[in-house]
Each structure stands twice: as structure tokens, then as C-alpha cells.
Amino acid sequence: MSTESSAASGFELSREHEEFRRTVRDFAEAEIAPHAAAWDRAHHFPTDVVQKMGALGLFGLTAPEEYGGAGEDGDFTSLCVAIEEVGRVDQSLGITLEAAVGLGINPILTYGTEEQRATWLPDLVAGDRLAGFGLTEPGAGSDAGATRTRAVLEHGEWIVNGAKQFITNSGSDITSVVTVTARTGESASGKPEISAIIVPSGTPGFTVEKAYDKLGWHASDTHPLSFEDVRVPEANLLGERGRGYAQFLATLDDGRVAIAALAVGCIQACLDMSVEYAGQRQTFGGPIGRKQGVAFQVADLEVMLHASRLLTYRAAAMKDSMRGGAGASMKEFKQAAAVAKLYATESAVTATRIATQVFGGYGFMEEYPVARFYRDAKVLEVGEGTSEVQRMLIARGLGLPVE
């Protein structure tokens, strides 16, 4: 889709993007919204609907046509629009889309060899299969350099041993591969050499542990993983040896904007639900929305929504403007991504609290969606870099020597 309008101003989406938004919204309201509460209660990952999202082209928005993607008709802004609209009705499927593209497809697309791309991308882009990215470990979250998983090269094979945790899309019925970061040696300075290695699902020694019992995102697929003498071909190295950590940090820049888009969807849902409820709920002879105490809270939601959306799509427009080496610099984009992620996700958490308060006692009941959004929102401040990490990155971008 054309990004001329959004990239030029940094604020306005193009007519094509808005038309695409309506398409995704119609799909989300018809195929996802009626079932989201039931999936949440059952902790059910709806494989069939995920594959329908693939048939709609949502997983291929940043991929070239040769792998079945949208090619020149797609862009990063389109992906953010799709994530926002899916997240507006179900945060679980919103994160499924975000992780499938940002953490599953994009690393292979960006750093993979032609053979790796041809092997894995067509099914991933079509939504027939999913991929995960194994970075986080029990002792290595934001400190990804503390990775303990190891991979040793012997006789043309990588032998992987270790464990990962909190890995999205890693154990579904249609997961085909997980890319993992592992220590593959040490640099001359003694620092760990971290590389990325592609591990197909079903490889002997690769175990997908029992799914987590999470606070929220109940319909998303998240597992701990273990690797015991897992052998994969040497050719499964993704990108340059020793550059796995740097590759993933670059991947996170895009992911921060995508998570911000998911947060925007959450805020939009909170605003929509609060406006409707405040206009219908009757107390003391009239709707509660005529009371300033309620009306002002709903007004705050509107402000947070607009500010979060503008920051998010400004960053997305920067990303798209960088294609072909023009437009924003990488430094400018990194700063914009961190700002968008920090503000939008913290606003989403606040928005769910406000919406729950507007609903009063009913907001505490699981039969109302605000309770689900309340549970789902908190992790937005954690995934793809915590709020503290974003503040550190922003301060560094301003030239401060923060550790």
C-alpha cells in the first residue's frame, strides 16, 4: 500500500490504509469478536481463525511477492493497522499476528539465506504455519547477553542445549520452526558470541513444555522450551555467526512499534466500550455519562487514544520511509519506536483501569470484555522491552550516559 501520505506528514494514514483498516475490522468483528470470550475462558488457540487471517493476507504484509507476500502493495504501516484492528477485539490474536510476523517471519526474511527463505517463508507468509523466536531465558530477559543456551558445531551440525521461556507461537498445532539464540563461542575480549539458529519443530531433543497458565492473553500460544542435544544442520545458522544478539535487537525496534499498535487497539476498545456503557447505564434518573466524574474519565481515554495512535503511526511511517535508504535515519526510528512503545503501552494499562472503573461492579465480572482487556493489558508494558528499557533507550537517544 502507498505510504506517501503517512510518510510525508508522519501523522495521516493514506486512503488505501484506511480502506484496508475497514477490511480487517469487518473480518475481526465477524470472525473473532463473537468467540473471543469463549476462547479466553477455554485457553483455546483458534488455529482455524489464524489460518483465515493468513488467507486474508495479514501475515504477508511485509513480505515480497516471491514468497506469497503483498510485495509493493504492503508495508509496515499496513501491518500495524492490522494488529490494531485485530487487537481491538482480541488482544490474544493481536499478539499472535504481531509475533508471527515480527518475531517469526521477519528475522528469516531479513537475515536468512535464499534457501532458508524458500524453505520456511511460503507457509509462514500464507498463515498455514507459524514460527517463534526463542530469546528469553530464566536468567536472561532484558539482559539477553546473559544467554546460557549453547550451541556447539560438530561434524557439520549444531548441537543445541539449554532452555527458553515465554516463547509465543512456539507450540501450536501449526508451529513449524523456532529460531533460538545460543552461545556459539567467545569473542577475543571474552564476551559471549551469540548466534541465531533455526530449529524445526519435532527435532529430536527439542521439547515444547506445558503451556503457561497466564494472567492474560489466554488464547495465544506461549510455552517454555527445552533443548537437549538437539542436532540441526550447520546451514541452519541464521545470519552471521556471532551476530544473533545484534540481529534480534534490530528486530525488536520494529516489534516495539507493532506492540504499540496492539496497545492502540486496546485503548480503542476501552473507549468504545466506555462510551456505549456510559450512554446506556442509568442511575439517579439518567445515564452515568452526564456525570462529570464519568465523562471526564472517558474524555481522558480519547486523549490517550489520539496521542498513542499518532506516536505509533509516526514511527511506522518512519520505518516505511527508510525503504530504499531514504527517509528517516535508524537513530530517529529507534527513538520514535521506543517513545511510541512506552507511551502507548502505559496508556493502554491506564485505559483498561479507567474502563473498568466506568463499568463499576460489572467491570469486575468476566462476562464483560473490559475484564479481559484489563488482564491482557499489563504484559504490553513488559514484552518487546519493558517500560524501564524504553526509558533507558530514550535517555540514551538524548545523549545521556545512562547504564
Q: Locate cell 511460503: which residue? A: 122
403 catalytically annotated: no
Q: How far is CA 84 from CA 22, 57, 80, 92, in A?
A: 12, 15, 6, 12
Neighbours of 213 (CB within 10 A): 7
Beta bridge partners of 98: none
What span, in angstroms and rounded, lies between the C-alpha atoms of 349 and 200? 36
What span, in angstroms and rounded, lies between the C-alpha atoms of 258 and 252? 9
Strand-pair category, 130-134 with 175-186: parallel
State the burial class of residue 38 (Cβ atoms within 10 Å of its Cβ: 0-12, 13-18, 19+).
Answer: exposed
Burial call 303-331: b when 16+ CB within 10 Å, e when fewer: ebbeebbbbbbbbbbbbbbbeeeebbeee
Catalytically annotated residue among 98, 384, 388, 403: 384
Q: Which residues are catalytic?
A: 384
